[in-house]
Amino acid sequence: MEVNSCGHGLLSCALIQEGLIGKKADYDPQDGRIDLAEWFRDAETRVPDLSRTSGDSRGAAAVNRAGTKVVAAQQPAFVPRATPAAYKFVVAVTEPAR
């Protein structure tokens, strides 16, 4: 699904537009560097919010007792499969080294 506000799909918007360009993925720790695990965890939390606010209707649908269609937000999951050291790979530097 394309999100009108950033012109990308939800995951791309969370990873690139907000995570890297908006520097929102630099939070744990906020050190001017975005490592792979930090980047993925940030997108994992942002996609459901973007899904709800964008009006995305591709989530799992159900009908509640009142007969109203309810759509669950998209929910990606970051499941580490490699050694922890692999997730310390720096994806972006948001501040120059001091």
Residue 21 per-residue DSSP state: I
Q: How far apart are CA 74 and CA 44, in angstroms?
A: 10
Instruction: List 10's β-bridge partners, or say none.
Output: none
Q: How far apart are CA 73 and CA 93, in angstroms?
A: 31
Residue type, 88: K
Residue type, 45: T
Task: Give the residue extent of every domain in the chain.
Answer: 2-93
The pLDDT score that the predictor gives to residue 1 is 47
The pLDDT score that the predictor gives to residue 42 is 92
pLDDT per residue, tens digit, the chain (98 aa), is: 454 577 778 888 999 999 999 999 998 889 999 998 899 999 988 888 888 777 655 554 555 566 665 555 667 777 777 666 777 888 889 887 66
Cα-flanking dihedrals φ and ψ of residue 89, to 5°? -60, 125
Instruction: Please compute, for residue 32, the number of CA atoms within 13 A of its CA located in the half-sphere on the CB side.
Output: 4
The structure's pTM equals: 0.68
Instruction: Please compute, for residue 14, the number of CA atoms within 13 A of its CA located in the half-sphere on the CB side.
Output: 23
